[in-house]
Structure 1
Amino acid sequence: MWILCSTALGFLLDLCFGDPRWLPHPVVLIGKSISRLERFLRRKFPQTPEGERRAGVILAAAIPLGSLLLSLGILLLAYRISFWLWFVLHTFWAYQILAARCLERESDKVYRLLAAGDLPGARVQLSYLVGRDTTQLTAEEVTKACVETVAENTSDGVTAPLLYLMIGGVPLGFCYKAINTLDSMVGYRNAKYLHLGRASAKLDDAANWLPSRICGLLLTVSAFLLRLDGKNAWRIFRRDRRNHLSPNSAQTESAAAGALGIQLGGTHIYFGDVVEKPTIGDAVRLAEPEDIRRTNGMMFAASGLSLLGFGLLRFAAVLLFR
Structure 2
Amino acid sequence: MSLTTLAIIGLAFSLDLLIAEPPTAAHPVAWFGRLVGTLDREWRPDDRGQRAVGVAIAVGAPLIPAAVAGGVVLAATDAHPTAGGVAAAVVLFLTTSLRSLLDLTEEVIAATDAEPQNKGSDEGDFDQARERIRGLVGRDTSTLSAGQLRSAAVESAAENLADGLVATLLPFAVLAPISLPAAAAAAAWVKGVNTLDSMLGYPSKPIGTASARLDDLVMFVPARLTAAAIAVAAADPFALARARQWARAPPSPNSGWPMATLACVLGVRLEKPAVYVLNPGADLPTLADGERAISLVGLAAVVSVVVAAVLALVVDELAAALAVDRGGAAVTGLALASVGGSALVLLGRWATEVSPGWR
Normalised TM-score (structure 1): 0.88
- Structure 2 counterpart SS, 1:321: helix
> 1: CA distance between counterparts of 2:294 and 2:69?
31
2:222 is the alignment partner of 1:211? yes
> 1: CA distance between counterparts of 2:282 and 2:238?
11
Residue segments in structure 2 that go unaligned for 5+ positions in a row: 116-124, 176-182, 321-359
User: Which position in structure 2 is the counterpart of 1:144?
Assistant: 151
User: Which position in structure 1 is the counterpart of 2:120?
Assistant: none
Structure 1 residues 51-66: aligned runs within 5 Å: 51-66=49-64
Aligned equivalent of 1:38, options 37, 40, 60: 40
2:232 is the alignment partner of 1:189? no
Is residue 147–residue 292 contact of structure 1 (8 Å, CA) maintained in 2? yes
User: Which position in structure 2 is the counterpart of 1:222?
Assistant: 233
Structure 1 residues 14-33: aligned runs within 5 Å: 14-21=16-23, 24-33=26-35
Structure 1 vs Structure 2: percent identity of aligned residues? 29
User: Which position in structure 1 is the counterpart of 2:80?
Assistant: 82
Which piece of structure 1 moves more, 170-179 or 295-304? 295-304
User: Which position in structure 2 is the counterpart of 1:176?
Assistant: 190
Which piece of structure 1 moves more, 29-38 or 252-261? 29-38
Aligned equivalent of 2:300, options 293, 302, 306: 302
User: How far does residue 22 in structure 1 lie from its aligned partner after superposition?
Assistant: 7.2
User: How far does residue 66 in structure 1 lie from its aligned partner after superposition?
Assistant: 1.1
Is residue 68–residue 171 contact of structure 1 (8 Å, CA) maintained in 2? yes
Larger radius of gyration: 2
Per-residue Cα deviation, 1:60-119 (whole angstroms, up to 9, x for no partner): 112111111111112212222222222222112212222110100111111221124422
Aligned equivalent of 1:253, options 245, 256, 259: 259
Shift in alpha-carbon separation, 1:316–1:167, aligned structure 2, 3 A: closer
Is residue 97–residue 164 contact of structure 2 (8 Å, CA) maintained in 1? yes
User: Which position in structure 1 is the counterpart of 2:211?
Assistant: 200
> 1: CA distance between counterparts of 2:24 and 2:158?
27
Ranked by relative contact order (alpha carbons within 8 Å, sequence separation 6 or more), the top structure is 2
Q: Which runs of 4+ in 1 moved over 4 A?
A: none
Shift in alpha-carbon separation, 1:292–1:63, aligned structure 2, 3 A: farther
> 2: CA distance between counterparts of 1:3 and 1:265?
39
Counterpart amino acid of residue 288 in structure 2: E
2:275 is the alignment partner of 1:265? no
> 1: CA distance between counterparts of 2:203 and 2:242?
27
User: How far does residue 266 in structure 1 lie from its aligned partner after superposition?
Assistant: 4.2
User: How far does residue 150 in structure 1 lie from its aligned partner after superposition?
Assistant: 0.3
User: Which position in structure 1 is the counterpart of 2:285?
Assistant: 287
User: How far does residue 215 in structure 1 lie from its aligned partner after superposition?
Assistant: 0.8
> 2: CA distance between counterparts of 1:26 and 1:295?
30
> 2: CA distance between counterparts of 1:14 and 1:143?
25
Report the number of matched residues: 302
Aligned equivalent of 1:3, options 5, 8, 23: 5
User: How far does residue 232 in structure 1 lie from its aligned partner after superposition?
Assistant: 6.6
> 1: CA distance between counterparts of 2:254 and 2:86?
33
> 2: CA distance between counterparts of 1:264 and 1:256?
9
User: How far does residue 47 in structure 1 lie from its aligned partner after superposition?
Assistant: 1.8
Q: What is the Cα-based RMSD across aligned positions, in Å? A: 1.8
User: Which position in structure 1 is the counterpart of 2:245?
Assistant: 239
User: How far does residue 296 in structure 1 lie from its aligned partner after superposition?
Assistant: 1.6
Per-residue Cα deviation, 1:167-194 (whole angstroms, up to 9, x for no partner): 332211111111111111010112xx1x
Counterpart amino acid of residue 184 in structure 2: V
User: How far does residue 9 in structure 1 lie from its aligned partner after superposition?
Assistant: 2.0
Per-residue Cα deviation, 1:191-217 (whole angstroms, up to 9, x for no partner): xx1x11100100110000001011111
